[in-house]
Amino acid sequence: MDQLSNQTAHLFRKWQLQICDGIAILLDNDLHYMTICWAAQRSGLYYTPISTLFQNSEINYILDNSDAKLLITKQTILDRIQLQLPAQLKVITLDSGRYAHWQTEIRGLSTDPVTDEVEGSEMVYSSGTTGKPKGVRFDLAMNPPGTVTELTKKRIQLHQVDDTVRYLSTAPLYHSAPLRYNLMVSRLGGTSTIMEKFSAEDALRLIQEEKITHSQWVPTMFVRLLALPEAIRHSYETSSLRFVIHAAAPCPIHIKEKMISWWGPILYEYYSGTEANGS
């Protein structure tokens, strides 16, 4: 991932993307999602993840509102949603199609960092429950590589994140929590296991097989875990878990009580993480 993200950072510079410019990412939980994010992060760019479930109007609004100069996506996604893209927007796809192909474009580019490497930032959009989605954008401090925000420092301390962490990412990477936690874990040398799509039993299997220590959830996932037959739930070893982190919506008290009864007092809830003003 380090080499590929460096090559992609050089591609961004080759395509005239400069520090503080923006790109958008419209992808499923692809193997290379985090590679693209790290390329933007180390290039000093803003990168905006977009939900593949959004309507065309929502996607076009975010592309325009975020000032994205480049969209990274898949031809299969574009074909499925029949998206009409702005003529001036540059496009790269991870699969073959009518646009520039990512792996072809980075071939032969340097695997060393770009010379003007600084920390970029994700620019995540809220759900838009009160109108159109709202972009959450923080000013870039022009920090050198390896510098983390105060919020990230706080999360590292609270959740004891280091290179021994084995993190299970259960949700789409276009959401702020899984994106930021996977960035944090990989930054510190930990291991991420990213599910392509959530399945309750598959999540339990991965916890057992990968000896997961940290995981991220939403309350609906707890409901689906608890809905599994008791014999299935207790057939998997989950004692490796140390931090079960959840957000996105309030967790009903009786659901949380059942999860604590099952996994122990290791559930940690927070809110308003996208805007970085929650608790």
In the three-class reduction of DSSP (H, G, I as helix; E, B as strand; rest coil), residue 179 is classed as helix
Give the model's pLDDT for residue 271: 72
Q: How far apart are CA 124 and CA 137, in angstroms?
A: 7
Q: Of the given ranges (1-5, 121-125, 144-148), which has the lowest mean pLDDT? A: 144-148
Task: Give the domain ranges of the chain.
Answer: 2-136, 150-269
Mean pLDDT of the chain: 92
Per-residue H/E/C for 105-124: HHCCCCCCCCCCCECCEECE
pLDDT digits (tens, 9 = 90+) for 217-232: 999 999 999 999 999 9
Stretch 247-265: mean pLDDT: 93
Count CA atoms within 13 Å of residue 145 on its CB side.
15
Burial of residue 178 (number of CB atoms within 10 Å: 0-12, 13-18, 19+): buried
CA–CA separation, 164 and 220 (whole Å): 28
C-alpha distance from residue 22 to each of 40, 57, 65, 207 (Å): 9, 19, 11, 36
Under 8 Å CB-to-CB from 147, ≥6 apart: which residues? 119, 141
**Residue-level pLDDT at 189:** 95
- Which of 3.40.1030.10, 3.40.120.10, 3.40.50.980, 3.60.15.10 would CATH assign to domain 2-136? 3.40.50.980
Q: How confident is the model at residue 16 (pLDDT cuts 50, 70, 90)?
A: very high
Does residue 135 or residue 264 have the better pLDDT? 264
Does position 274 have pLDDT exceeding 60, yes or no? no
* CATH code of the domain made up of 150-269: 3.40.50.980
- State how far the Cα of 95 lies from the Cα of 102, in Å rounded to an integer: 8
pLDDT at 278: 42
Mean pLDDT of 130-154: 84
Q: What is the DSSP letter of 126?
A: P
Nearest to 1 by CA among 39, 28, 29: 39
Mean pLDDT of 186-214: 97
Residue type, 237: E
Per-residue pLDDT, averaged over 109-132, amounts to: 88
pLDDT at 277: 43
Task: For the beta carbon of residue 66, count every other beta carbon within 10 angstroms.
Answer: 20
Closest CA to 49 of 22, 26, 69: 26
Mean pLDDT of 191-211: 97
What is the C-alpha separation between 245 and 229, in angstroms, rounded? 23
Which tens digit of pLDDT belongs to each residue from 66-118?
999 999 999 999 999 888 888 889 999 999 999 999 999 999 999 999 999 99
What is the rounded distance in angstroms from the CA atom of residue 113 to the CA atom of residue 212? Answer: 31
pLDDT tier for residue 19 given thresholds of 50, 70 and 90: very high
Structure tokens at 49: 């993840």
Who wins on pLDDT, 152 or 52? 52
> Which residue's entry shows tokens 């301390």?
157
| Per-residue pLDDT, 243 | 97
Instruction: Give all strands of the β-sheet with 191-194 in edge-to-edge order.
Output: 191-194, 166-169, 214-217, 243-246, 267-269
Contacts of 96 (CB under 8 A, 6+ apart): 75
Sheet of 90-93, strands arranged across: 100-101, 90-93, 68-73, 22-25, 46-49, 121-122
